[in-house]
Structure 1
């Protein structure tokens, strides 16, 4: 039971950290230079490269539960890795095919870029924290632009 609880906890905690790091990148010029370039280009790096960035940034936070037990460490590590995979996919999907983000009422990261938002819609994979911390800003979705896009599958995006 403990590994499952830690898997879910790590998944949720990772989404929380991602939200706050994204907010910090918008609030601090030193930390956010690479992120501002991401906004200028308005593209993802590809799922694999996004995933590797997330894992590099979170690698130390993935390991401490191994001090408790092997099972606890494995549960936490797998939950954190699962969120990194999900978030890398969700980030790339919102840049390339945002209408496929069925798990959110509105793909917040896509809207964040489309409307040049610097104080709203910071979630990448989920919008929970935007709702909780009152940074969620609803916008018209989908618009005519998105509804006129050619139909593409969930996997039709840049992977590397």
Structure 2
């Protein structure tokens, strides 16, 4: 019974991490004068460059960005309890690692995103979907908030060329 609450907190923070990632990405696509873009201009510029280049930075750099971007929400539960603080922190931290991996995988080998019926972030880039498919690691929030746009013809010969690669064959640095 003592493990149930920390597991619940871990799970909730993992889900919260995906929610935060969805909304931050969605804000980057919002109106250019959005207040968050004024507060964090470097982030918005980096995101614009990411769309121009169409590639990931590598797992390590993506992971760093996710951790830095969510660090403010990783620590509050420590004020309540060390155990719950660790559980919340680990859920956010592990989601950051998962999102960094999912992001890089969708740029390097989108066919390998077996947990998604369609690699939403890849399709977001491939079809310049400025107002759709904001998810990186999951597509739950796109579906819930009506921004999911399926593209049945996303899988072309280009994507199939990398299908033989292994799940770990991504740009790490």
Under a length normalisation based on structure 1, what TM-score does the superposition of the two structures give?
0.96
TM superposition shift of 1:33? 2.3
Q: Which structure 2 segments of 5+ residues have no match?
A: 38-43
Equivalent position of 1:103 in the other structure: 115
Instruction: Tell me if 1:79 matches 2:85.
Output: no
Equivalent position of 2:72 in the other structure: 60
Q: 1:136 aligns with which of 132, 144, 148?
A: 148
Equivalent position of 2:6 in the other structure: 3
What is the root-mean-square deviation in Å for CA atoms of aligned residues? 1.2
1:10-30 CA distances to partner (integer Å, 9 max, x unpaired)? 000010010000000000426
Instruction: Tell me if 1:49 matches 2:55.
Output: no
Q: Which structure 1 segments of 5+ residues have no match?
A: none
Q: Give the whole-Å Cα distance in 2 for the aligned partners of 1:7 and 1:58.
A: 15
Q: Give the whole-Å Cα distance in 1 for the aligned partners of 2:53 and 2:77.
A: 38
SS state of the match for residue 130, structure 2? coil
TM superposition shift of 1:60? 1.5
Equivalent residue pairs, number: 160
1:57-88 CA distances to partner (integer Å, 9 max, x unpaired)? 11110000001100100000000001000000
Q: Give the whole-Å Cα distance in 2 for the aligned partners of 1:61 and 1:28.
A: 25
1:108–1:77 Cα change, 3 Å: same
Under a length normalisation based on structure 2, what TM-score does the superposition of the two structures give?
0.89
Q: 1:18 aligns with which of 11, 17, 21?
A: 21
On the 8 A contact 2:58/2:104 being kept in 1, the answer is yes
